[in-house]
Amino acid sequence: MTLTKTLAGLAAGTLLSTTAAFAQAYPERQITMVVPFSAGGPTDTVGRLIAERMSADLGQQIIVENVGGAGGTLGAGQVAGAEADGYTILLHHIGMATSPTLYRNLAFNPLEAFEYVGLVTEVPMTIVARKDLEPTDFPGLVAYVKENADTITMANAGIGAASHLCGMLFMQALDAPIVTVPYKGTGPAMTELLGGQIDLMCDQTTNTTEQIKGGTIKAYAVTTPARLAVFPDLPTVSEGGMPGMEVSVWHGLYAPKGTPADVVERLSASLQSALADPGIAEKLGELGTAPSPAADATPAGLKAKLEAEIARWKPVIETAGVYAD
């Protein structure tokens, strides 16, 4: 064997040993989980639940950093450009699938800028209203909105937010152009709904369950194929005469492209461990949702979900002709 080949073999062996040692040692320090929305919102709630349990499993603390703005693309872009070492990760929702169409000049490609860790949960949406809105059931709401479309107001957390997407589907199903009012986050939108300044909102159960149970807002329907255990008396949109409007807000965990495969595997295993924790399932259940199945809490499961959702939402957004740029 020549000296050149010997040196090359030693170099390759050293690289493999270094990579393996890095993966085995990971994590050696604190990890930052970027949530690209405001603190206290539904995605933040999910992120903090998962971060706490994964921290215990990994033996290092996961700190949640809220980087809001531009419909979640600001925080996602920050992670896309972060060092690919496993110490910066991203928890994002359905907006990862809609941003390529909503933002025609998006600085990154969601399908190519990240490594997939796994699907976390799919959160149902609820169609809710100020507590004194006149209709008493969902069919009555549909008729009421059609008759008063020019005066009814519907809040959302900004273009591209889950509440905005659900609202678009609602208006398309009604064929009624409701007046929409965007806010800088779900929190301010809910505050206005509670105060009676806004008539309607479509938002995640993680943000509406407590208010519905407390009677401070009125709930009309859930956007799932079947009723929810947390609201057994609340009909689905299909039962209310609006089939095809089913939508959930799924959340996925990502790492920057190029993150070592063994590190991604470790993160995915930790995520699966967190989702299998009965305490996490109980807390998510209280919010009207559930952990993703183990088969979906994987890189392959999240990749398949993202690809399918991009294909689903692209024509919806293009038909609506509403863009964020």
Q: How many helices (H) and strands (E) does the chain have?
A: 11, 9
Q: Which CATH class is domain 124-222?
A: alpha beta
Give the residue among 188, 181, 186 at the shortest CA–CA distance from 203: 186
**Which backbone phi and psi does 125 adopt, to 5 degrees?**
-105, 155
Instruction: Determine the pLDDT at residue 24.
Output: 67
At 120, the pLDDT band (50, 70, 90 cuts) reads: very high
Average pLDDT over residues 185-199: 92
Lowest mean pLDDT among 44-58, 71-85, 242-256: 242-256
Mean pLDDT, residues 157-165 taken together: 83
How does residue 18 score in pLDDT terms, banded at 50, 70 and 90? Answer: very low
The segment(s) of the chain belonging to CATH 3.40.190.10 are 124-222
Separation CA 244–CA 225 (nearest Å): 9
State pLDDT tens for residues 80-113: 999 999 999 999 999 999 999 999 999 999 999 9
Using DSSP bridges, classify how beta strands 88-92 and 248-256 pair: parallel, antiparallel or unpaired. Answer: antiparallel
Q: Quickly tell me which residue has 């995915």 as its tokens.
A: 268
pLDDT score of 13: 54
Q: pLDDT of 238-276, one tens digit each? A: 998 888 788 889 999 999 999 999 999 999 999 999 999
CA–CA dist 306, 222 (Å, integer): 23
At 115, the pLDDT band (50, 70, 90 cuts) reads very high
DSSP calls for 176-230: --PEEEE-SSHHHHHHHHHTTS--EEEEEHHHHHHHHHHTSEEEEEESSSS-BTT
**pTM over 0.85, yes/no:** no
Task: Cite the residue boundaries of each domain of the chain with CATH code 3.40.190.150.
Answer: 29-123+249-320
Contact 270, 55 (CB under 8 A): no
Q: What is the mean pLDDT of residues 216-245?
A: 92
pLDDT band at 153 (very low <50, low <70, confident <90, very high): very high
Q: Which CATH superfamily is domain 29-123+249-320 in?
A: Bordetella uptake gene, domain 1 (3.40.190.150)
